[in-house]
């Protein structure tokens, strides 16, 4: 917002970490029109040790790793696919990570009710706990 910042700093840090891992990925485009890819992730690129293969579907915003589906921002597999197509990976970050959206949560200010007679009544009666024998744990050892 001020200073040209649009995205949450935590998300930008995670995306920058993911961009550093792009070199350990190999991508195969299966359907350029529908934005469907297979990404192979290597533990050690030069040794050829594969740590996983993932299907990325940019149009549906899904990835087999599950992180993109859960977190809703570009993870390393999405970034590799975007680089292959020369797309901006930030276009796949959900709107909830925008600073404007985060600040809008606090936009509505609660009004102060100064007159205590206008407060809703609160019941201060204590409730009684009922004991259920089946919820008790059995003591260890001999009875």
**Which segment, 42-51, 102-111, 127-136, is predicted with the most confidence on average?**
102-111
The number of angstroms, rounded, from the C-alpha of 76 to the middle of its chain's C-alpha atoms is: 13
Specify the pLDDT at position 8: 86
pLDDT of 135 > 60? The answer is yes
107 or 55, which is more confident: 55
79 within 8 A of 73, measured Cβ to Cβ = no
Specify the pLDDT at position 3: 57
Specify the pLDDT at position 124: 66
DSSP 3-state percent helix, strand, coil across the chain (nearest 5): 35, 20, 45
Specify the pLDDT at position 127: 66
The mean predicted confidence, pLDDT, of the chain is: 81
pLDDT of 77 > 60? The answer is yes
**Percent of the chain beyond pLDDT 90?**
7
Return the CA Rg of the chain. Answer: 26
Assigned token pair, 89? 């990976």
pLDDT of 125 > 60? The answer is yes
Give the model's confidence band at 47: pLDDT under 50 very low, under 70 low, under 90 confident, else very high.
low
Assigned token pair, 86? 């020369």
Start-to-end C-alpha separation, the chain: 67
Q: What is the DSSP letter of 9?
A: H
Per-residue pLDDT, averaged over 99-120, amounts to 78
Give the model's confidence band at 7: pLDDT under 50 very low, under 70 low, under 90 confident, else very high.
confident
């Amino acid at each position: 917002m001020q200073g040209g910042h649009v995205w949450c700093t935590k998300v930008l840090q995670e995306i920058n970490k993911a961009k550093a891992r792009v070199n350990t990925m190999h991508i195969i485009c299966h359907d350029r029109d529908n934005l469907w890819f297979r990404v192979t992730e290597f533990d050690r690129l030069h040794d050829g040790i594969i740590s996983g293969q993932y299907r990325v579907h940019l149009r549906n915003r899904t990835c087999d790793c599950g992180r993109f589906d859960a977190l809703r921002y570009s993870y390393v597999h999405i970034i590799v696919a975007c680089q292959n197509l020369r797309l901006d990976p930030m276009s796949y970050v959900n709107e909830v990570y925008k600073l404007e959206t985060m600040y809008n949560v606090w936009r509505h200010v609660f009004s102060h009710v100064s007159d205590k007679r206008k407060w809703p009544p609160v019941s201060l009666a204590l409730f009684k706990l009922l004991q259920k024998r089946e919820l008790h744990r059995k003591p260890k050892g001999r009875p």
